[in-house]
Structure 1
Amino acid sequence: MKIIDKYIFKELIGPFLFGIAAFTFILAGTTLLFNLIGESIKYNIPILDLIILFSLKLPQIIAISFPMSILFSTISVFGRMGNDLELIAFRSSGISLIRVTIPVIIFGLIISLLTIGFNESIVPKASSMAEDLFRSYRHSEKPTIKENINFTQYKDGIPIRIINVKDIKEGILNEITVAEFENGSLHRIIRSKTGKWKKLTGWEFYNGIMHYFPKNEQKKLTVINFEKEFIKININPIDLTKRKKNYEEMSRKELMNQILNKIRNGENPSKDIMNYHLKLSIAFSSLIYSIIGISVGVKPHRSSSAMGLGLSLIIILVYFILLSISMGLGLSNTMSPLFAAWIPNIIVGLTGILLLKKNSSL
C-alpha cells in the first residue's frame, strides 16, 4: 500500500467513526427511543427490560449508520483536503483525482462487506430477541390463547388442505374445520368441537362430523359422526401458531428459503425477493456513497463537520425517497423486485461517477 493510500485511509477512519456515533445518536434518539418509551408506557415495561430492548434494537440502527457515515467521512475529508489545497498539491505532483479516489472506493467496499456480515449475523438475532421480548408484554394478558387461526397447505401451487381453528388454549384446539382437496376438488370436510395434538398418534378430534364428497356424481355424500377420531394430518399445531419473522429478523438465507417455499406453494414471492436484494443493495450503498461523497466533497467550502453532516443528510434523504418510490413500484409489480431494490444505487452511483468525471477534468 502506497503512502497516499495509507494517508487517505487514516483520514477517513476518524470522521467515519464520528459519523457512526452521530447518526446512531440521531436515529436512536428521534425514532427508536421515542417508540420504546411509548411502548413502555402502554405495556408497563420495566426500565431494565426497556434498556435491554434498546440494546437489542441498536444493531439495526448501527447497520443503517454505516453507509451514512461513509458519505459523511468522504465529504468531510475531501472538503478539508480541497480547502487546504492538498488536492491541488496532488495534481501538481501528477496524482489525479481519480487516483486519489481508489483508497476511498476500497474503504467503501470493505465497509459494504462488513455491513453484509453484520446484517447476516448480529442484526437478525438481536431483532428477533427484541421482538420476542416485546410480544411477551404485548400479549401478557392472554399469553396461552391464539385466536382465529387459518392455515393452507399447498402442493405444486394447488391447495390440498385448509385448516381453520377458532382458538388454541393451553394446547386444546376449539371449533376446528378442515377442508381437504384431491386434484383440485373438495374431497372431505371435517368439523370438530375440540381437538388436541398427541406426539405419537397426531391429531385427535372430539365430537365432530365428517363429510366425504363423491368423485362420481352418481354416488351419494357420505356423512360420519364421531365422538373421537384420529386424523392423519402431518402438521404440528405449533406450526399453526408459529410467529412469522419480519424482514429485519431474517438473514438472506432465511429469506431465500421463504421465497422457495412460496414458489412451491404457488404464492407470490415478489416482496420477499425485493427484501432479499434490499439487504444487499443497502449494504453496498456504502460503496455508492463513497463515490458521490468524493464528488460533492471536492467542491469549495465543504470542510466543516456541520456542513458535511448537512450535505450527508440531504443526499441520504434523496436516496431514501428514490428507494421508497422504487419499492412502491416493485410491490405493485410495475417494476421487477430485483430492479426495484437496486435502482436507487444505480441512479446515485451514476450521478456520482458523472460528477467525479466532471471534477477530475477541472
Structure 2
Amino acid sequence: MKIIDRYLLTELLSPLLFGIFAFTSIFVGTDILFELADLMIEWGVSAVTAGQLFILSLPEVIVLTFPMSMLLATLLSFGRLSGDSEVVALKAGGVSFIRLIIPVLIVALLLSGLTILANETIVPQSKDAYRRIVWNIKHQEKMPTTQKNLRIAPLDKKTGKIDYIFYAYHFDGSDLTMEEVSLQDYQNGKLVQVIEAKRARWTDERWQFIDGTIYNVNSKDKVPTMEFETYTVKKLNREPKEISRAQKDPDEMSIEELNRHINLKEEEGKDVASLKVLYYQRYAIPFSCFIFALIGAPLGLQPNRSGASIGLGLSIVIIFIYYTLMTIGSTLGQTGTLPPAVGAWLQNIIFGLVGTGLIIKMSR
C-alpha cells in the first residue's frame, strides 16, 4: 500500500467511526430507548432484561448506519483535504482525482460486503432472539411452535391450475408432527386422488403419513384403494420450518430464506412483487455504501464544503433524498409499474449516475 493510500484511509477512518457512533446514537435515542422504557413501565421488565434487549437491538442499527457513515466520512475527509489545499498539492504532484478516490471506493465496497454479511448472520439471529424474549415477556411463555388448520395449495407451474391441497388440523414444529392430515391430488385441475391419515411426521427429509387410507376419485365418488400404516408423500415438499407458524417475518429472513419463501408463494399463485422488492433491496441498500462514496467524494471537494457542520447537514439532505427515492422505487416495484429489481435499485441508479457525472466533471 502506498503512502498516499494509507494517508487517505487514515483521514477517512476517524469520521467514519464518528458517523457510526453519531447515527447509532440518534436511532437509539429516538426509537430503541423509548421501546425499552415502554416495556419496563407496562410489563415490568427488569434492568438486566432491558440491557439484554438493548444489546440485541444494536447489530441491526449499527449495520443500518454504515451507508450514512460512509457518506459523512467521505464528505468530511475530502472536505478537509480541499479546505487545507492538500488536494491542490496532490494534483500538482501528478495525482489525479480518480487515483485519489480509488482507495475510498475500495473501502466502500468492502463495507458494502460487510453489511451484506452482517445482515445474513448477526442481524437475523439478534432480531429473532429479541422477538422471542419480547414474546415471552408479553405472554409469559415461550413462543409457540404449533399451528392449527394449516392449509397449503400450490399451483402446477405447467398448467397454472391447482396442483394439490394439503390440510392438517394441528402442526407441532417442536417434534415435527401433524395430526388429522389430508392431501388432495389434482391433475390438470381435476381431483384424482385423496390421501387421509391420522398423523404425519418428518422423516428422512420427507413427510410420512401414518395410519391412513388412499382414495382414487372417479366422476361420481372417491373409492378406497389402499390402507397403510406408513406412506411417504413425495408431492408434499415443504420442510417443517417453511410451514411453521414460528416462521420468521420476511424482513427477518436471510437472503436464502427469503428467496425460498418467494418461490413457495409463487407456487401458490400469490403476488410476490413486494417480497421481490425486499429481496433485491437486501443487495441494493448495502451497496449504497459505494454509491454514497461515489457521490460524497466530488461533493466534498466543492468550495465551502470543508466545515464539519456543513458536511453533516449535506449528509442529512442527501440521505433524505436517497430514502425518498427508495420509497418511490419500492412503491413502483410493488405495484408493478417497474420491475421489482429496478424499483429496488432505482435510488442507486440515479445517485450512481449523478456521482459518476460529478467525478467526470472533477477530473477535467
User: Same fold judged by TM-score > 0.5?
Assistant: yes
Could you give the per-residue CA deviations for residues 229-263 of structure 1, whole angstroms, max 9, x where no partner exists? 98969579887543221234322222222233334
Contact 1:80/1:303, CA 8 A, preserved across alignment: yes
What's the CA shift for 1:320?
A: 0.7
Could you give the per-residue CA deviations for residues 211-233 of structure 1, whole angstroms, max 9, x where no partner exists? x89532xx35789xxxxx98969
Q: Identify the match of residue 163 of structure 1 among 167, 179, 186.
A: 167
Could you give the per-residue CA deviations for residues 131-167 of structure 1, whole angstroms, max 9, x where no partner exists? 2222223333796696764421436352412437499
Contact 1:204/1:230, CA 8 A, preserved across alignment: yes
Could you give the per-residue CA deviations for residues 162-210 of structure 1, whole angstroms, max 9, x where no partner exists? 4374998x99999x79573432335689999xx76678985679xxxx9
Counterpart residue type for residue 164 of structure 2: I
1-structure distance, mates of 2:49, 2:211: 40
Q: Indicate the larger mover: 10-19 or 181-190.
A: 181-190
2-structure distance, mates of 1:132, 1:243: 10
Structure 1: which 5+ residue stretches go unaligned?
A: 224-228
Could you give the per-residue CA deviations for residues 244-283 of structure 1, whole angstroms, max 9, x where no partner exists? 2123432222222223333444444433332222111111
Query: 5 Å matches for 1:1-362?
Result: 1-140=1-140, 149-154=149-154, 156-157=156-157, 158-163=162-167, 165=169, 180-183=184-187, 184-186=189-191, 202=209, 215-216=218-219, 219=220, 241-361=244-364
Q: Give the direction of change, closer, same or farther, for the CA distance of 1:347–1:145 in structure 2 (3 Å limit).
A: closer
How many pairs align?
A: 348
Q: Give the direction of change, closer, same or farther, for the CA distance of 1:233–1:140 in structure 2 (3 Å limit).
A: farther
Q: Identity over the aligned pairs, expressed in percent? A: 33
Contact 2:135/2:141, CA 8 A, preserved across alignment: no
Counterpart residue type for residue 163 of structure 1: Y
Could you give the per-residue CA deviations for residues 60-95 of structure 1, whole angstroms, max 9, x where no partner exists? 111111111110011001111111111122222232
What is the root-mean-square deviation of aligned Cα atoms in Å?
3.6
What's the CA shift for 1:40?
A: 4.3
What's the CA shift for 1:58?
A: 0.9
| TM-score of the superposed pair, with normalisation by structure 2 | 0.80
2-structure distance, mates of 1:33, 1:139: 22
Contact 2:191/2:217, CA 8 A, preserved across alignment: no
Question: Higher relative CO (CA 8 A, sep ≥ 6), structure 1 or 2?
Answer: 1
Structure 2: which 5+ residue stretches go unaligned?
A: none
Counterpart residue type for residue 132 of structure 2: D
Q: Give the direction of change, closer, same or farther, for the CA distance of 1:141–1:257 in structure 2 (3 Å limit).
A: closer
| TM-score of the superposed pair, with normalisation by structure 1 | 0.81
SS in 1 for 2:247: coil
2-structure distance, mates of 1:2, 1:53: 44
